[in-house]
Chain A
Amino acid sequence: MTTDVATVKKSALAESIRKNRTLIFMSLPFIFFFILFHYIPMYGIIIAFKQFSLKLGILDSPWCGWDNFSRLFGGVDFLKWQNGIPSGVLVNTLWISILRLTLGFFAPIVLALLLNEIRISWFKRSIQTLTYLPFFLSWVILGGIFLMVFSESPNGPLNSIIISLTHWAPVKFLTNGDLFITTIITTGIWHGAGYGAVIYLAALSGIDPTLYEAAMVDGASRWKQVVHITLPCLAPTIITLLILSAGGILNAGFDQIYNMYNPMVIDKAEIIDTYVLKRMMALDFGLATAAGLFKAVVGMAMIVLVNSIAKKMTDGEQGVW
C-alpha cells in the first residue's frame, strides 16, 4: 500500500514537473543566483571558526574553535567593563540603535497624524514631497551637507547663529562623542521621518470613513477620534514595522555613521559594521566574520522573538508570518 501511494505521488510529481517544465526552467536562474550570492556566503561563515589566511583559502585554513569569538569578547574594542559599566563597540551599537528605535519610531507616526489632519490637499502633498525627499539621497551626499551645516568653525551656519545668540564657544556637534550621537540621531530622523510617514499615511487612507462619521454623530472631538479610531486602526502597521525594525537592533546605520564620523568620536560612535570593515582592512578576517556572524544571529533571533511575542499578545492575528 505505502509503496503504491509513494509511486503514485512520485509519478504525480513527475507529471507536474513535465507539465511545468518551462516554469521550472524559468526559475533555474534565480535559484542558481541565490545559492551563489546568498547561500554560499552563508557557508563562508565557517571562517569565524577558522584561523583564516588568504593563502590557504577558506577550506584549508586550520580550525580554531571559538577562538575568534573569545578574542572578540575578550579584547578591548568590542566589549569592555570599567567599574561595572560596559562600553565598547557593542554598547555603542545598542545605544545608538535603541535611540533610533524609540525616538525615530515616533517621529513618522506623529508626522503622519499631523499630515492626516490637513484638509488642504495641495499643502499636504507638498509637505509630503518635501519631507520625503532626503530619503532618496545617499549618506555620502547628506553626510557631506551635514558636515558643512554642523561645521565647528565659528563661521559654520549653525554655530555662527548659536554664537551670535548666546556668546558660547562653538558647539562641537561633530567632535564631542555625546553631541555627535545627538547629531546622528537628529539627522537620522530628518532623513527617515518623511518616508516612514508615507507608510502610515497609506494605512490611514485605508480606514473606513464611516467610523469617523459615526463618531462625529456621537459628538466625539477630533482628539477623541484620533485616540479611539485612528490609533487603533494604525496598530497593525505599527506592530509590523516594529517587528521588522527589531531585526535591525544591531544595525546602527552604517552608511550614515561611516560618512559622518571622525577619529575624535570613535569611542562613542564605532559600531559593529564600521568595526567589521576596519578589522577586514587590517586583514583580520576571522575576527571580522565572527563579529558579523554575531550581528546576523542576534538580528534573526530578535525578529523571530518579537514576531512570536506579537503573535501571542494578539492571539495570532498579528505577526509578519
Chain B
Amino acid sequence: MSYKLSFGEKFFNVFNVVMLAFVAILALYPFMYTLSMSISSQAEASSGGLHFLPRVMQITKIGSKEDIKDNDIHKKTTEDYQKSLLLYAKLQEKYQKDTAEFAIKGPNEMSKPQAPEMPKEHHPKHLVMGSTRIHYHPEVISFMSYVMVFKNPNMLIGYTNTLFRTVVGTILVLLMTCIAAYPLSRKSMPFRKQLVFFLLFTMLFGGGLIPTFLLIKALGLYNNIWVYIIPGLLGAFNIIIVKNFFQSIPDSYAESAQLDGASDWTILFRIYMPLSKPVLATVALWTAVGHWNSWFDAMIFINDNTKQVLQTFLQRIVIEGSTDLIEKGMVNPDLTQYTSDTVKAATVIVTILPILLVYPFVQKYFVKGIMLGGIKE
C-alpha cells in the first residue's frame, strides 16, 4: 500500500481482526465443549460452566474484584478446612487410645481425656452464585465414555453401513454422473436443450415425500440396503456442473481423438474424465459428505436394525435420549466414570472424527465446488 493508513482505518483493522477471531471461537466452541465432555468423569460433567481443554481454571465474574478476593479466601479456607480435618482425625485417634488407657489406669494415674472439637462445617464459597467456573480440562480424564460407545454393537453396524454407502455410493455417483454429463456436453447431441430442461425442472418441482415413499416400496427398495445408493445415483445439479466443465474442454481434443478412431466411451474415460479431476474431486467430496451425513432415508425406508446407519443410531442416543446404549454397553458399574451426557458427547466425537480428520486437507475442493456450482446456472 502506497498510502498512509488513517487512524480510523487502523482502528478498523484491529477491530476486524478481534471480531473475526471471536467469530472463529464461536464456530469452534461447541465442538471443544463436546470433546471436553466426552472425556469428563461424572463429577466433572455435572458441574456447570464452560468446558475447555486442557487445564483447570477458575475465573470469577468479569470485573468483580470482590469475587476474586472471595475466591482467594475460599481457596485458603478450603485448604485450612482440609488441614483441620486431618488434625481432627489424628486427635480423634489419640482420644480413642487415651480413653482405652484411661479405662485401664483409672482417674488416679491420668486425667480424663477430652474429646477433640469437630472442625466447623465448610461451605465452599464458589458454589454459591457469583463466580463462573471455566473448565480448562476435565480434572480427572475418563475415557470410560468411549469404552461405552465401542462396547455398543450398534456402533459397529452403523459404521459398516455408513462406510458402505459412502464408498460404493460415491464411486457409482461419479461414474453415472460422467456418463450422463458427457452427451449433454457434446454440441452434436440431438435435443440437448430439451434434455437439460428435463433435468433442471426436477430442481424446481418434485413429487414430495409420499409419492417417493410409495415408489420406493413398489420398487422393492423398502428395507433394502440399496435404497441408500440407487435413488441418489444422479442429481441434476451434479450433472450440470460436470457438463459445464466438460464444455470448457476444447473440442479439438475430442475431434482429433475421433479422427484416430476413438469412440465416445474412449473419449469420455481417457480424455474427459482425466482432464476433469478438479470438478470430479469436488463432486466426489460433496457426495461422500452427503452420504456420511444422511439419516432421513435410513429413518424412513429402513426398518431393520442391522441395516441402519451411524447417523440414525446417533440420533437415537443423542436426540431421543435413548439410554439403551448405556444399559447394553454396561461394562463398568463405576458410575462415577461417565454420565449419559458424556456418552452422548463421545458418540458425537466418534461420528464426526472421520470428517474432522480429512476436512483440513480437502477443504479447498469444497470451496472450488461452491464457485463452480454456486454462481453459474
A280 sits at the interface (CB 8 A): yes
A contact residues around B131 at 8 Å (CB)? 164
Neighbour of B239 across the interface among A30, A156, A216, A303, CB < 8 A: A30
Which one of B76-84, B94-102, B201-209 contacts A? B201-209
Cα separation A45 to B293 with both chains bound (whole Å):
28
**Bitwise interface map of B from 1 to 44 toward A, beta carbon under 8 Å scored 1, else 0:** 00100101100110011011101101110110110010000000
A146 at the interface (CB under 8 A from B): yes
Q: Tell me which of A123, A198, A292 contacts B17 (CB under 8 A).
A: A123
Q: Is B103 an interface residue (CB 8 A)?
A: no
- Interface membership of B157, Cβ < 8 A: no
Q: Is B329 an interface residue (CB 8 A)?
A: no
**B50 proximity list for chain A (CB < 8 A):** 157, 161
Query: How far is B204's CA from A221's CA once the two chains are assembled, in angstroms?
Result: 43
Is the CB–CB distance between B208 and A41 below 8 Å?
A: yes
B129 at the binding interface (Cβ < 8 Å)? yes
Q: Does A288 contact B (CB under 8 A)?
A: yes
Q: Any chain A CB within 8 A of the CB of B226?
A: no
Residue B147 interfacial (CB < 8 Å): no
Question: Which of A17, A134, A194, A202 has a CB less than 8 Å from the CB of B190?
Answer: A17
Judge whether A106 is part of the interface by a CB distance below 8 angstroms. Answer: no
Also in contact, A138 and B214, with CB within 8 A (given A157-B48, A203-B375): no
Q: When the two chains form their complex, are residues A140 and B311 in contact, meaning their CB atoms are under 8 A apart? A: yes
Q: How far is the CB of A90 from chain B (nearest CB, A)?
A: 16
Q: What 0/1 pattern do residues 250 to 292 of B give for CB contact below 8 A with A?
A: 0000000000000111001000000000000000000001001
Contact A27 B195 (CB under 8 A): yes
A29-B176, A303-B204 are contacts. A141–B24 as well, Cβ < 8 Å? Answer: no
| Docked CA distance A126–B132 (Å) | 30
Size band of the B side of the interface? 35 or more
Interface string of B357-368 (1 = CB under 8 A from A): 001100100110
Tell me the bound Cα distance from A36 to B370 in angstroms.
29
Measured CB to CB, the closest approach of chain A to B325, in angstroms, equals 13
A to B contact number (C-beta, < 8 Å)? 271
- Indicate if the CB atoms of B210 and A47 lie closer than 8 Å: yes
Does B199 interact with chain A (Cβ within 8 Å)?
Answer: yes
Measured between beta carbons, the chain A residues less than 8 angstroms from B16 are 114, 117-118
User: Is there a chain B Cβ closer than 8 Å to A247's Cβ?
Assistant: yes
Q: A26-B183, A140-B311, A203-B375 are in contact. Are A37 and B17 (CB under 8 A)?
A: no
User: When chains A and B are docked, how far (Å) is the Cα of A29 from the Cα of B363?
Assistant: 32
A241 vs B374: C-alpha distance in the bound complex, in angstroms?
Answer: 8
Question: Cβ of A127 and Cβ of B205 under 8 Å apart?
Answer: no
9-residue interface stretch from B137-145, B148-156, B345-353? B345-353
- B179 near A26 with CB under 8 A, answer yes
Q: How many A residues face the partner with a CB closer than 8 A?
A: 99
Q: Which residues of B contact A154 (CB under 8 A)?
A: 48
Residues of B within 8 A of A137 (CB): 293, 352, 355
Q: B209 contacts which chain A residues (CB < 8 A)?
A: 276-277, 280, 288, 292
**A176 is an interface residue with CB less than 8 A from chain B:** no
Which residues 154-184 of B have a CB within 8 angstroms of A?
Answer: 176, 179-180, 182-184
In the complex, are the beta carbons of B17 and A44 less than 8 A apart? no
Contact pick for B189, options A20, A38, A130, CB 8 Å:
A20
- Over the window 315-350 of chain B, the binary record of Cβ atoms lying under 8 Å from chain A Cβ atoms (1 yes, 0 no) is 100110000000000000000000001001101100
Which of B233, B294, B318, B363 contacts A143 (CB under 8 A)? B318
Q: Which residues of A contact B348 (CB under 8 A)?
A: 141, 144-145
Hey, what's the 0/1 contact readout for A147-162 against B, CB within 8 Å counting as 1?
1110000111101110
Shortest beta-carbon contacts, A-B, top 9 = A44-B211, A41-B207, A160-B48, A292-B208, A144-B318, A138-B293, A30-B180, A41-B211, A23-B183
**Contacts A47-B214, A141-B351, A296-B208 supplied; 8 other A-B pairs, CB < 8 Å:** A16-B190, A42-B211, A126-B24, A132-B367, A164-B132, A203-B375, A222-B9, A300-B204
